[in-house]
């Protein structure tokens, strides 16, 4: 076997080790390179920044623990921004496994910012149905959620005063990890009930949402951990997402190096004179 | 009886399908009321559908344990996980002074159920998916070869985007950030739009076939 | 630090490391964690479904608010469970027919409006702009709404649609359109790969960030001690697998 062939058949555990080291070292010894903010993320930030105090902001945390590293920092940054602007925040999720995480992020950030459940924000929790749930909320919010997550009757909550349906919500942001996310909110929600819609999503589904961004169906898109880092820069509170960007840089360059090496070895094999028949 | 088993379901699909497609164009209060009520019903029925998925999993592992197939011990671990979590979900929280009833926290105090969720489910699911990072690196090294011009184009686009979306890439090659934005907002958007339109047309065709009874695979269950 | 938090940190770290042992080789630690993951997820689903569907959506509205119309969806949902009774399985068809019929009916007009009409509307934008009353051709590549980009977008959408249209033969002008479509597709898939790499790496960064957090003295250096224990266990296990059985020594 030639050197190039041996290199292409290298034990994959060495590659795993390389990725592990490229991820761990920047986490232990961060550099802190500058992060440029994209227009997509600005779209969401500028809209929230322009909302008057007391506006209704609905954050739908449509993800499960698998997507926590990408979407949890987005949720934290958005909630901090919304609470700083004194918006009335409604939290919920379309994904059953994400209910605990959604509750944790709301109570954590609300506690930090001195906000009170029922008065400044409400956590509605999860309800089955995705599309039918959104339609139900669009028809009558109190029929969809007669009680909040803590069994308080929603009609009696001060934070929901004056809201009857989704038409009364000023801005909805869906943080999505897959199906039952941004497209669902548009299809069964914004199409009929005409609220403004923004999105946050994992890196895997982000490219697929650009048609909606370009057509104005969503007014902004926060893509992956990079998007979360950009939002943290905008609100001036750099945390986990920004801290992860150095490791992101290192791993991306590791992958680029691996791809280049793979192609160099492949080219060497293709252009070398043919080997003898017997080994 | 044949009518009940075969024709009635198809009739129900047809009537409900046409009714709710037409409802979109009828803003009359009675039409809106019907939409509100039936979407509420769908939520409840959707909850029952979750039960179906769970029971089939029970069945598979129960068979494994009964037949003592290789690895049946792990099926016991699975059952222990299910029962332990359910027990935590319906336990009594002494710290909070009330029954847990499926809540992760009560008045800010973490329950046993919340503990299981945050310290078992979240790390387990997170780690399972974190493994993919290693496998994508290994796959990229072994098989991401520019065998043709099209593959080379794919490779170049991938490298530009990988550079353009990290601070180090933007610092070393500032133009990579701008090119990435152009690729995403124009080229990628065009392709995804075409795919979205195609998939949507396909979904509508399938929905119409279902409503008109041409496509019946969704019925399943039971003899004709 | 409370005992539950400390125990939680050690359990979370241990389970994370058990899953990562798969990178070395499939082993009992990984299998244990894998089955536990499925078990806990299913248990969580059962508890949440019971609390949300049975109690909050059915029992409370029916019993405390007297909304007896919910007996209808309760009946339909129960029909679905008839699937498990061999002689009565046909009853479940009625439930599925209802769900699928309503779902299809709700989806059709919404998909037409949202994902076809709106998307086509944005594709057929003007090819020139009016600036101060005069038609101008804007060609800033960095502005997605510029006229040049509108043309590129239009060519892209049409050529990719042509590529996926397999009912006509790809010859002549159709072949040119389809080949152009392939080029656009390759760039888009490259971008998708780049983003997928970004996403997967983020997931790993998240888990390792947590492990780094649990390596501090307040958590009893859980990551370090459990990491060491896991490596030793794996080493001993793989040695045991390599040794021949006693009767063959």
The answer to the question of residue B216 being in a domain is no
Picking from A244, A256, B61, the residue whose alpha carbon sits closest to that of residue C207 is A244
| B112 lies in the same domain as B137 | yes
In the predicted model, what is the mean pLDDT of chain A? Answer: 92
Which residues of chain C make contact with A128, given a CB cutoff of 8 A? 49, 52-53, 57
pLDDT in tens, B168-200: 999 999 899 999 999 999 999 999 999 999 999
pLDDT in tens, A248-279: 999 999 999 999 999 998 888 888 775 544 44
User: What's the pLDDT band for B218 if we cut at 50, 70, 90?
Assistant: confident
- Contacting subunits of B (3+ beta carbon pairs below 8 A): A, C
C77 close contact with A: CB closer than 8 A: no
Structure tokens at A7: 């290199």
Q: Which helix (H) or strand (E) holds A3?
A: helix A3-8
| B204 lies in the same domain as B185 | yes
Question: Cα–Cα distances in Å, from C101 out to A94, B9, B148, B201, C75?
Answer: 22, 10, 46, 18, 17
| B150 lies in the same domain as B176 | yes
Handedness of CA B187, B190, B193, B195 (dihedral sign): negative
What interhelical angle do A39-50 and A68-84 show, nearest 10?
30
Interchain contact, A146 vs C65, CB within 8 Å:
yes
| B124 lies in the same domain as B62 | no
Which residues of chain A make contact with B159, given a CB cutoff of 8 A? 256, 259
Q: In this model, does residue A139 exceed pLDDT 80?
A: yes
The answer to the question of residue B56 being in a domain is yes
- Contacting subunits of A (3+ beta carbon pairs below 8 A): B, C
C197 close contact with A: CB closer than 8 A: yes
The answer to the question of residue B191 being in a domain is yes
User: What's the pLDDT band for A226 if we cut at 50, 70, 90?
Assistant: very high
- Smallest CA–CA distance, residue A6 to chain C, in Å, is 20
Which residues of chain C make contact with B183, given a CB cutoff of 8 A? 187, 191
User: What's the pLDDT band for A156 if we cut at 50, 70, 90?
Assistant: very high
User: Does the structure's ipTM exceed the value 0.95?
Assistant: no
| B75 lies in the same domain as B58 | no
- Smallest CA–CA distance, residue B35 to chain A, in Å, is 8
pLDDT for B143: 83
| Cα angle for residues C205, C210, C213 (degrees, 5° grid) | 125
Q: In which residue are the tokens 């001993």 written?
A: C236
The answer to the question of residue B171 being in a domain is yes
Picking from A125, A95, A107, the residue whose alpha carbon sits closest to that of residue A202 is A95
Domain boundary among B121, B143, B165: B143
Domain boundary among B69, B96, B111: B69
**Of how many residues is chain B composed?**
224
Q: What's the average model confidence in pLDDT over B91-105? A: 86
Q: How many CA atoms lie within 13 A of A52 on its CB side?
A: 0
Task: Please check whether residue A249 is in contact with residue A27, taking contact to mean a CB–CB distance below 8 angstroms.
Answer: no
In the predicted model, what is the mean pLDDT of chain C? Answer: 89
Domain boundary among B95, B116, B143: B143
pLDDT for B224: 45
Higher-pLDDT residue of A21, C59: A21
Q: Bridge-partner residues for C134, per DSSP? A: C131
Interchain contact, B167 vs A259, CB within 8 Å:
no
pLDDT for B222: 47
Distance between CA atoms of residues B24 and B22, nearest Å: 5
Picking from A5, A195, C40, the residue whose alpha carbon sits closest to that of residue B85 is C40
Structure tokens at C116: 């076809």
Which residues of chain C make contact with A203, given a CB cutoff of 8 A? 195-196, 198-200, 202
Boundaries of domain holding B158: 146-210
Interchain contact, B165 vs C31, CB within 8 Å:
no
Distance between CA atoms of residues A176 and A60, nearest Å: 8
- Rg value, chain C, Cα: 30
pLDDT in tens, B40-69: 999 888 888 877 777 777 777 777 777 777
The answer to the question of residue B215 being in a domain is no
Higher-pLDDT residue of B4, A182: A182
- Smallest CA–CA distance, residue A274 to chain B, in Å, is 18
Tell me, which fold does domain A39-243 have in CATH?
Rossmann fold (3.40.50)
* Strands in A115-264 per DSSP E: 121-126, 171-176, 196-201, 221-223
Task: Please check whether residue C193 is in contact with residue B154, taking contact to mean a CB–CB distance below 8 angstroms.
Answer: yes
Question: Cα–Cα distances in Å, from B170 out to A177, B161, B174?
Answer: 26, 10, 5
CA-nearest residue of chain B to A242? Answer: B167
B223 close contact with C: CB closer than 8 A: yes
pLDDT in tens, C99-130: 999 999 999 999 999 999 999 999 998 888 88
Interchain contact, A253 vs B168, CB within 8 Å:
yes
CA-nearest residue of chain A to C215? Answer: A28
Interchain contact, B191 vs C156, CB within 8 Å:
yes
- Smallest CA–CA distance, residue C179 to chain B, in Å, is 10
| B105 lies in the same domain as B151 | no
How many structural domains is chain B composed of? 3
- Smallest CA–CA distance, residue A24 to chain C, in Å, is 7
The answer to the question of residue B217 being in a domain is no
Interchain contact, A66 vs B126, CB within 8 Å:
yes
b/e per residue A148-175 (b: at least 16 CB within 10 A): bbeeeebeebebbeebebbeebbbbbbb
Q: In this model, does residue B223 exceed pLDDT 60?
A: no
Nearest to C119 among A151, A211, A223 (CB): A211
- How many CB atoms lie under 10 A from the CB of residue C233? 16
In the predicted model, what is the mean pLDDT of chain B? Answer: 88
Give me the residue spans of the domains in chain A.
3-25+252-271, 39-243
CA-nearest residue of chain B to C41? Answer: B121
pLDDT in tens, B135-175: 999 999 988 888 889 999 999 999 999 999 999 999 999 89
Under 8 Å CB-to-CB from B54, ≥6 apart: which residues?
C42, C45, C46
Distance between CA atoms of residues C79 and C85, nearest Å: 10
The answer to the question of residue B224 being in a domain is no
CA-nearest residue of chain C to B112? Answer: C4
Higher-pLDDT residue of A189, C54: A189
CA-nearest residue of chain A to C52? Answer: A127
pLDDT for C56: 85
Q: Which helix (H) or strand (E) holds C98?
A: helix C91-111
Nearest to C114 among A20, A186, A204 (CB): A186
- How many B/C residue pairs have CB atoms within 8 Å? 402
């Amino acid at each position: 076997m030639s050197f190039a062939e041996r290199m292409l058949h290298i034990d994959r555990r060495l590659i795993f080790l390389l990725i592990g080291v490229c991820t761990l070292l920047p986490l232990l010894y961060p550099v802190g390179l500058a992060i440029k903010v994209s227009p997509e993320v600005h779209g969401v930030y500028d809209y929230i920044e322009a909302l008057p105090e007391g506006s209704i902001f609905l954050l739908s945390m449509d993800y499960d623990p698998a997507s926590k590293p990408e979407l949890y920092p987005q949720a934290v940054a958005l909630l901090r921004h919304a609470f700083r602007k004194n918006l009335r925040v409604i939290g919920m999720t379309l994904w059953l496994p994400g209910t605990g995480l959604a509750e944790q992020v709301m109570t954590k950030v609300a506690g930090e910012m001195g906000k009170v459940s029922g008065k400044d924000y409400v956590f509605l929790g999860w309800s089955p149905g995705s599309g039918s749930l959104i339609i139900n909320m669009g028809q009558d919010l109190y029929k969809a959620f007669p009680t909040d997550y803590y069994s308080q009757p929603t009609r009696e909550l001060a934070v929901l005063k004056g809201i009857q349906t989704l038409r009364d919500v000023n801005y909805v942001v869906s943080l999505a990890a897959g199906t039952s996310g941004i497209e669902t909110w548009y299809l069964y929600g914004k199409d009929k009930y005409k609220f403004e819609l923004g999105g946050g999503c994992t890196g895997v589904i982000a490219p697929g949402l650009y048609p909606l961004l370009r057509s104005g169906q969503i007014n902004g898109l926060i893509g992956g951990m990079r998007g979360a880092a950009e939002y943290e820069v905008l609100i001036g509170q750099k945390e986990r997402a920004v801290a992860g960007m150095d490791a992101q840089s290192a791993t991306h360059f590791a992958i680029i190096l691996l791809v280049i090496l793979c192609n160099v070895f492949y080219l060497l094999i293709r252009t070398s004179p043919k080997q003898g028949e017997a080994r | 009886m044949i009518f009940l088993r075969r024709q009635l379901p198809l009739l129900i699909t047809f009537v409900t399908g046409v009714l709710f497609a037409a409802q979109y164009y009828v803003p009359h209060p009675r039409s809106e009321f019907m939409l509100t009520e039936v979407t509420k019903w769908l939520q409840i029925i959707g909850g029952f559908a979750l039960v179906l998925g769970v029971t089939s999993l029970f069945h598979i592992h129960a068979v494994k344990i009964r037949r003592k197939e290789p690895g049946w011990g792990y099926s016991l671990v699975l059952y222990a996980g299910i029962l332990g979590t359910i027990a935590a979900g319906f336990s009594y929280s002494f710290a909070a002074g009330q029954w847990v009833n499926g809540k992760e926290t009560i008045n800010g105090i973490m329950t046993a159920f919340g503990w299981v969720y945050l310290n078992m489910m979240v790390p387990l699911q997170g780690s399972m998916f974190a493994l993919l990072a290693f496998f994508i690196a290994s796959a990229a090294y072994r098989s991401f070869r520019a065998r043709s011009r099209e593959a080379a184009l794919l490779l170049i686009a991938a490298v530009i985007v990988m550079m353009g979306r990290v601070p180090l890439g933007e610092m070393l090659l500032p133009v990579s950030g701008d090119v990435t934005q152009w690729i995403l907002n124009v080229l990628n958007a065009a392709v995804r739009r075409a795919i979205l339109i195609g998939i949507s047309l396909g979904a509508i065709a399938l929905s119409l076939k279902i409503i008109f009874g041409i496509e019946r695979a969704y019925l399943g269950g039971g003899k004709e | 630090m409370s005992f539950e938090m400390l125990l939680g940190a050690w359990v979370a770290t241990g389970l994370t490391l058990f899953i990562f042992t798969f990178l070395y080789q499939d082993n009992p630690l990984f299998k244990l964690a894998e089955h536990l993951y499925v078990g806990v997820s299913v248990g969580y689903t059962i508890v949440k479904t019971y609390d949300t569907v049975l109690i909050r959506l059915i029992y409370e509205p029916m019993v405390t608010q007297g909304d007896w119309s919910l007996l209808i969806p309760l009946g339909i949902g129960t029909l679905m469970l008839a699937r498990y009774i061999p002689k009565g399985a046909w009853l479940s068809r009625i439930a599925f027919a209802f769900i699928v019929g309503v779902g299809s009916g709700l989806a059709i007009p919404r998909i037409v409006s949202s994902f076809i009409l709106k998307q086509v509307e944005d594709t057929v934008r003007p090819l020139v702009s009016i600036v101060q009353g005069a038609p101008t051709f804007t060609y800033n590549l960095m502005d997605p709404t510029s006229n040049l980009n509108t043309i590129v977008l239009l060519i892209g959408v049409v050529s990719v649609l042509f590529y996926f249209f397999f009912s006509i033969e790809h010859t002549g002008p159709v072949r040119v359109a389809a080949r152009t479509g392939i080029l656009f597709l390759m760039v888009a898939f490259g971008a998708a790969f780049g983003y997928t790499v970004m996403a997967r790496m983020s997931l790993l960064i998240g888990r390792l960030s947590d492990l780094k957090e649990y390596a501090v003295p307040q958590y009893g250096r859980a990551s370090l001690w459990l990491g060491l224990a896991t490596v030793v266990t794996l080493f001993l296990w793989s040695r045991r697998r390599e040794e021949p059985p006693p009767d063959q020594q």
